[in-house]
């Protein structure tokens, strides 16, 4: 498995480069239905088949463009290849009405149809050509990837308007729901709509759903959990009835009974439990720098760089001047409205069952509303506290950043909102984050990230805006 220099995609980790995380969020309800219907394995396998089609197409684009083929010729060849059987039950194809090149010949859209034992999934990839006035040039990158599920051919027929906005520079924070300088634990029955990275170990509770994982130490997933690719400096253990994509471990790999993984690379022994399955052994270790693209964390060096960026970001946030009209925050706060701007305080305790409302009504006509809450000490959020935003028009964005100088602690049933940079640990195993991300120098213990208190997918006003703001800040 050779990595092509200049490519943003590598043929081991297709979902890492997702620019629109809502795509994965929209699958949470479907995953629950799969469990109830007993078709989970078929649907996951159909998605994997669709991914294999995109990998094949991406490689064809590179090879054929070097031979002077045009975009249309390459796409026609993919369509004409028809259904490609990967096994008696697994196949992919490229529907003729869903693939095409933009007039300016710098954007092509590919839709791969994956099938497995009657289950169908569609994967749409928008690919941008970075250089080269003719053909596909030499440098290619994925700009956005969408899953469409289940069988909805019409859903992928047209290229979304405004697709070019997905082709910007990737924020190093953007794909990570949580980053810890210590360890991360995700509670059972949780959904995390993003990647995880920790300098220590990462543990995923039973029946939880997570994107990609990096751990400087061990990775452990619970019974019935679903994870994507895992990268660990130590051993990786996939529990019974759990599903994972590729595994890259610095030590041994163990897959529990009836577990299913796509492929593995192990620094020591590989042990499969009863009825556990894997597609094979990988020849190369993707933890090395040769396989790391911008924004990825695959090894200790990447993790060190990311922790340094978190420190720098917190320093830049603390250096912001507070908005004079806002005044300092009290040490204890109940239900309250907060206007946009920079707020500051020392230690802050929010009483249980409070509602914190971020109110854009009192702002100016600016559509990009920003709240930065700088606290020199700890933030403690009482049980069943709710955070909400009001006063936004359809085109408005909302960036909420909590910059905490010590620990962040959340009580049971709290649904947090905002991107938190925390000097100490984040302790919130019985809480969730509806819209936002957690970046801590200490440990992180949390439930779901990117869903509401009922476990439903959330559309967040601040998703892209916060990363644009942080990019300008640094």
Please indicate, yes or no, whether residues 326 and 459 belong to a single structural domain of this protein.
yes
Question: How is residue 433 written in tokens?
Answer: 């984050």
Cβ neighbourhood burial of 299 (10 Å; 0-12, 13-18, 19+)? buried
| pLDDT value, residue 364 | 62
- Percent of the chain past pLDDT 70, that is, above it, reads 71
Q: Which residue has the tokens 């509602």?
A: 355
In a domain, 289, yes or no: no
In a domain, 390, yes or no: yes
Q: What average pLDDT does the structure give for the chain?
A: 78
Q: Where is the domain boundary, 221, 245, 278?
A: 278
In a domain, 285, yes or no: no
In a domain, 305, yes or no: no
In a domain, 10, yes or no: no
Average pLDDT over residues 186-201: 95
Residue 23 backbone dihedrals phi, psi, to 5 degrees: -55, -45
Q: Count how many domains the chain has.
A: 3
CA distance 56 to 51: 9
Per residue in 130-179, pLDDT tens? 443 333 333 344 444 444 433 444 443 343 433 333 344 557 888 899 99
Lowest mean pLDDT among 80-94, 112-126, 396-410: 112-126
Please indicate, yes or no, whether residues 259 and 332 belong to a single structural domain of this protein.
no
Per residue in 260-317, pLDDT tens? 998 899 999 999 999 999 988 876 676 666 655 556 788 888 899 999 999 999 999 9
Please indicate, yes or no, whether residues 125 and 261 belong to a single structural domain of this protein.
no
The C-alpha torsion from 411 through 415 and 420 to 423, rounded to 10°, is 10
Whether 239 shows a pLDDT value over 60: the answer reads yes
Q: Where is the domain boundary, 245, 278, 311?
A: 278
In a domain, 286, yes or no: no
Please indicate, yes or no, whether residues 437 and 410 belong to a single structural domain of this protein.
yes
In a domain, 304, yes or no: no
pTM check: above 0.95:
no
Average pLDDT over residues 364-383: 90
Between 425 and 107, the more confident residue is 425
Q: What confidence tier does 327 reach under pLDDT thresholds 50, 70, 90?
A: confident
Please indicate, yes or no, whether residues 99 and 217 belong to a single structural domain of this protein.
no
Structural domain that includes position 447: 320-473
């Amino acid at each position: 498995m050779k990595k092509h220099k200049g490519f943003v995609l590598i043929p081991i980790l297709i979902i890492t480069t997702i620019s629109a995380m809502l795509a994965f969020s929209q699958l949470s309800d479907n995953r629950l239905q799969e469990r109830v219907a007993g078709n989970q394995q078929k649907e996951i396998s159909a998605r994997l088949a669709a991914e294999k089609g995109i990998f094949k197409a991406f490689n064809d684009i590179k090879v054929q463009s070097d031979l002077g083929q045009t975009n249309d010729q390459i796409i026609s060849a993919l369509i004409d290849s028809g259904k490609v059987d990967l096994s008696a039950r697994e196949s992919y194809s490229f529907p003729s009405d869903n693939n095409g090149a933009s007039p300016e010949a710098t954007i092509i859209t590919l839709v791969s149809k994956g099938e497995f034992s009657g289950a169908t999934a569609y994967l749409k990839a928008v690919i941008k050509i970075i250089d080269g006035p003719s053909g596909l040039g030499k440098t290619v990158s994925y700009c956005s990837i969408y899953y469409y599920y289940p069988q909805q051919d019409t859903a992928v027929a047209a290229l979304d308007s405004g697709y070019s906005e997905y082709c910007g520079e990737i924020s190093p924070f953007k794909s990570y729901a949580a980053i810890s300088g210590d360890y991360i634990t995700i509670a059972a029955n949780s959904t995390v709509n993003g990647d995880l990275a920790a300098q220590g170990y990462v543990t995923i509770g039973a029946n939880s759903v997570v994107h990609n994982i990096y751990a400087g130490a061990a990775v452990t997933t619970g019974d019935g959990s679903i994870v994507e690719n895992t990268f660990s400096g130590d051993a990786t253990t996939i529990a019974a009835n759990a599903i994972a994509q590729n595994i890259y471990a610095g030590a041994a790999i163990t897959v529990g009974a009836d577990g299913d993984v796509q492929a593995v690379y192990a620094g020591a022994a590989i042990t499969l439990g009863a009825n556990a399955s894997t597609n094979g052994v990988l020849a190369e270790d993707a933890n090395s720098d040769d396989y790391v693209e911008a924004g990825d964390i695959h090894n200790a060096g990447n993790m060190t760089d990311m922790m340094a960026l978190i420190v720098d970001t917190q320093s830049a946030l603390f250096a912001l001047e507070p908005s004079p009209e806002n005044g300092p925050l009290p040490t204890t706060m109940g239900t309250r409205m907060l206007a946009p701007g920079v707020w500051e305080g020392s230690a802050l305790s929010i009483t249980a069952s409070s509602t914190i409302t971020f109110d854009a009504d009192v702002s100016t006509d600016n559509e990009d509303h920003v709240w930065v809450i700088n606290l020199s000490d700890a933030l403690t959020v009482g049980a069943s506290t709710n955070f909400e935003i009001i006063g936004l028009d359809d085109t408005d964005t909302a960036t909420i950043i909590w910059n905490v100088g010590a620990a962040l602690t959340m009580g049971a049933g709290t649904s947090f909102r905002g991107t938190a940079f925390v000097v100490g640990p984040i302790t919130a195993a019985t809480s969730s984050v509806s819209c936002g991300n957690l970046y801590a120098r200490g440990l992180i213990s949390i439930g779901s990230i990117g869903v509401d208190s009922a476990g439903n997918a959330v559309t967040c006003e601040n998703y892209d805006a916060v990363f644009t703001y942080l990019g300008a800040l640094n």
